[in-house]
Amino acid sequence: MTTPAPSIFSRIIAREIPAEIVHETETVIAFRDIAPQAPVHLLVVPKTSRYRDVAELAAGDPALLADVVATAHQLANEHADGQFRLVFNTGANAGQTVFHVHAHVLAGGLTEGTLA
C-alpha cells in the first residue's frame, strides 16, 4: 500500500508552500483562504493529518474539535465583530475538496446564502 501524498494543508503547516498565517498554536493553525467567499474567510486546521473531516475529528478527539471552535471564535473577535459562520464541508458531495479536517470561518458581513 502506498502512503497518500500530504494534503495541501500539511504542506502549509510544514512551510513548504506559503500562506497568510494569522494564528498558530501547538495544535492548530489558521490562515486566510486563497479564494475568499466573505470579507473575512479564514481556515482553522488541526495540525494533525489524522482526521479527514469533522465527523472523524468529533469521534476521535472532541477536545481538539472544541479547540478549533474556540479558535474560530477568537479569530472572529480579532478580525471582525465576533459574529461568524462556521462551515465544515464533510465529503466530496458536500463540497469538500481538501481531506484534512478544517473549519471555514466566514465573517465581516455576510450576504444571505453565502456558503463556503
* Strand order across the 28-32 sheet: 21-24, 28-32, 40-46, 103-107, 84-87
> What single-letter amino acid sits at 8?
I
Site for ligand 5GP in 37-76 (CB under 6 A): 43
Least CB distance from residue 81 to ligand 5GP, whole Å?
A: 22
Kindly tell me which of 33 and 61 has the beta carbon lying closer to ligand 5GP: 33
The whole-angstrom separation of Cα 111 and Cα 55 is 27
Catalytic residue from among 79, 100, 102, 104: 102
Report if residue 116 touches ligand 5GP, rule: CB under 6 A. yes
Q: Is 100 a catalytic residue?
A: no
Contact predicate 99/7, CB 8 Å? yes
Helices (H), 1-116: 8-13, 54-60, 62-79
Least CB distance from residue 13 to ligand 5GP, whole Å?
A: 12
Kindly tell me which of 27 and 86 has the beta carbon lying closer to ligand 5GP: 86
Site for ligand 5GP in 69-98 (CB under 6 A): 89, 95-98
The whole-angstrom separation of Cα 17 and Cα 39 is 23
Catalytic residues: 102
Query: Which residues contribute to the site for ligand 5GP (CB under 6 A)?
Result: 8, 19, 31-35, 43, 89, 95-98, 116
